[in-house]
Chain A
Amino acid sequence: MSSLIQVQNVSKSYWRNSLEIPVLNNISFEVNEGEFLALMGPSGSGKTTLLNLIAGIDKPTKGNVAIAGTDISKLNESALAKWRSANVGFVFQFYNLIPVLTAFENVELPLLLTKLSKTERRKHVEMALNIVGLGDRMYHYPKQLSGGEEQRVAIARAVVTDPLILVADEPTGDLDKNSADEILTLMERLNEEFKKTILMVTHDPHAAEKAKLIRHLEKGDLI
């Protein structure tokens, strides 16, 4: 298997006034295509920061992040936005659906940036919603869905563009056990059946068990 994600000597610090707060310390690792990696660690260990760097929504203070050969640390904001829309699917802890849009419209959002026709977009959205088992809830608004269903809509939105990698930040953190299991099973299926490369941040050992590989972060160091 080839290496899809290459993180090389990455450090990240935040500044509070003149005080530098290091979050990640010289981290290097690789993720192969088709991998399902769980990043674990206590709060403040830097796992979400690392995920953000790999997903291209933040930039490292030092080092490089290369995805499929593209060094995303060197891309400007505009190029990075285009790169994200084509290559990364996002699943957040609090779903982050747009409340005034239906499940269909939420899933359709990333496709609006593509050149697909309306008919093609419809086909993709229906397929994605069917994969997550919400084909019959397409025209429901987020407030009409349960937490688990909202997260499934978020997953449909993440995969609808068929991205290279799927990043999930505590995807079960706001769900009850049954809903969490459904989401984890769905992610497992996306990895095994649809060969999606998945990076998942979690502090839940039960969730991490679903991943093929688990890495631990402790105070900004990969252990």
Chain B
Amino acid sequence: MKVLKLIFKNTLRHKLRTLLTILGIMIVVIAFNLLRTVVTAWYAGVEGAAANRLITRQAVSFIFELPYAYKDKIAQVQGVETVSYANWFGGVYIDQNQFFARMAVDPESIFDVYPEFLLSKEELDNFKKERNSCIVGRDIAKQYKFKIGDVITLEGDIYPGRWDFVVRGIYQPKYKSTDATQMLFQWDYLNERMEMEAPGRANWVGWYIVKISDPDMSAEISNKIDALFKNSTAETKTESEKEFVQGFISSSSAIITAMNLMSFVIIGIIMLVLGNTMIMSARERTREYAVFKTLGFSAFHLIGLIMGESLLISALGGGIGLAFSFPIIAGFEQAIPKGFFPIFQLEPITVVLAVSAAFIIGITASIFPVQRALTTKIVDGFRFVG
């Protein structure tokens, strides 16, 4: 108890220095949490990927489309349960900053292949009945206050023109990692308009979503699907949804790697800052440590005093930083284009990493001062002039 009191009093000896160090750790913890949250958000799609879903896309590039006619051929492959398909629509809602995924989908099958999108039977039936109907995710419904019957008008870019959709359902995410920021509308609505306005662009789909019966067969089924279209004008590449999402985000891998690296570099920097603070403190107290040793205090006591102070500073900085991280990350989410990251929140693993980092900073920063205090002879300690 007395040692704790002394640790606390030592921490407050140089209030400004301690305050600045705590502020430094606090800022680093916030930055670390923010960077990790961005990285986690980037990978959210990978976590949400199902093992029994395959994605079939154009072999050359994701941006090229596949013939609609492939649907029935894929469905005949052994092990395939359901085949669905989608097109990336893009478009602008209000302005370029209002971003969320808008996709043309097959209403008959899309909710079979994505069972984590929870929709009532009535809403699904209404969606199927009306050609220009759409379904929106819970999060964007909440964000834009969409309700059943509302009309959403998009200005097309990939598919030019004005597009009006009537909201006929709001899907709920089944899991925390489920993306609830998508807008889904009937592929037929898009295709019929293409047939009228740009016949060459009709009957093409962006990618197929293939639900399989046995996830262990995914590689074999993928090969079979791709073999079907070998040497055709639109060869396919089929892979698990997880591989597909990973491949999709790999285009940004340099940025993600840089952010990952940065999040740990700043931890290293603050370790040096706290280490410097502790070295200065220990140096100033060289004579006091000699007194403690003279009085019979053991190495264990000195380690407790120095490491305890270091841990107290890092715990204060880390704790305050963590507390501030929640509102700051929420504010950051508001500041970035809506829907850019479907899931953007401080994950428990990030909190654990931040707490561990603060703990490691506290321990590491005290190693050199502890070593110095323990190895300095009592007589040298008394002779020390700081």
Seen from chain A, the residues whose Cβ lies within 8 Å of a Cβ on chain B are: 52, 55, 57-58, 78, 81-82, 84-86, 90, 92, 96, 98-101, 105, 108-110, 112-113, 157
Contact = CB atoms under 8 A, between A and B. Distances in A.
B12 to A, nearest CB: 8
A81 B298 contact: yes
B291 interface: yes
A94 B288 CA distance: 12
Interface residues of B, number: 21
Contact of A109 (B13, B287, B295, B382): B295
A81 B296 contact: yes
Contact of B287 (A86, A96, A108, A112): A96
A96 B10 CA distance: 16
Interface centre among B12, B294, B377, B382 (most CB of A within 10 A): B294
Contacts of A113: 295-297
Nearest to A49: B379
Interface string B3-19: 00010011011000000
Contacts of A52: 378-379
B10 A57 contact: no
B298 A57 contact: no
Contacts of A105: 2
A interface: dominant SS? helix
Interface string B369-386: 000000001110010000
Contact of A110 (B293, B295, B298, B377): B295
Contact of B291 (A58, A96, A112): A96
A86 B296 CA distance: 8
Given A90-B295, A98-B291, 18 more contacts: A52-B379, A55-B294, A57-B378, A58-B377, A78-B298, A84-B295, A85-B296, A86-B296, A90-B294, A92-B291, A92-B382, A96-B287, A96-B290, A98-B288, A100-B6, A109-B295, A110-B296, A113-B296
B290 to A, nearest CB: 8
12 contacts: A52-B378, A82-B296, A84-B295, A90-B294, A90-B295, A96-B288, A96-B290, A109-B295, A110-B296, A113-B295, A113-B297, A157-B295
Nearest to A89: B295
A112 B305 CA distance: 14
Contacts of B10: 100
Interface of B: 2, 6, 9-10, 12-13, 287-288, 290-298, 377-379, 382
B294 A112 contact: no
A92 B378 CA distance: 13
Contacts of A58: 377-379
Contacts of A112: 2
A81 B297 contact: yes
Contacts of A92: 291, 382
Nearest to A14: B379
A76 to B, nearest CB: 12
A109 B290 CA distance: 14
A55 B294 CA distance: 9
Nearest to A81: B296
Contacts of A82: 296
Contact of A85 (B13, B291, B295): B295
Contacts of A57: 293-294, 378-379
A64 to B, nearest CB: 19
B185 to A, nearest CB: 69
Which 9 A-B residue pairings sit nearest by Cβ, starting from the closest? A85-B296, A100-B9, A57-B378, A96-B291, A81-B296, A84-B296, A110-B295, A58-B379, A113-B296
A37 to B, nearest CB: 20
Nearest to B11: A100
Contacts of B13: 99-100
A67 B259 CA distance: 64
Contacts of A81: 293, 296-298
Interface centre among A78, A84, A108 (most CB of B within 10 A): A84
Given A57-B378, A58-B379, A84 B294 contact: yes
A38 to B, nearest CB: 20
Contacts of A96: 287-288, 290-291, 382
B294 to A, nearest CB: 6
B357 to A, nearest CB: 29
A32 B334 CA distance: 82
Contacts of A101: 6, 9
A100 B5 CA distance: 10
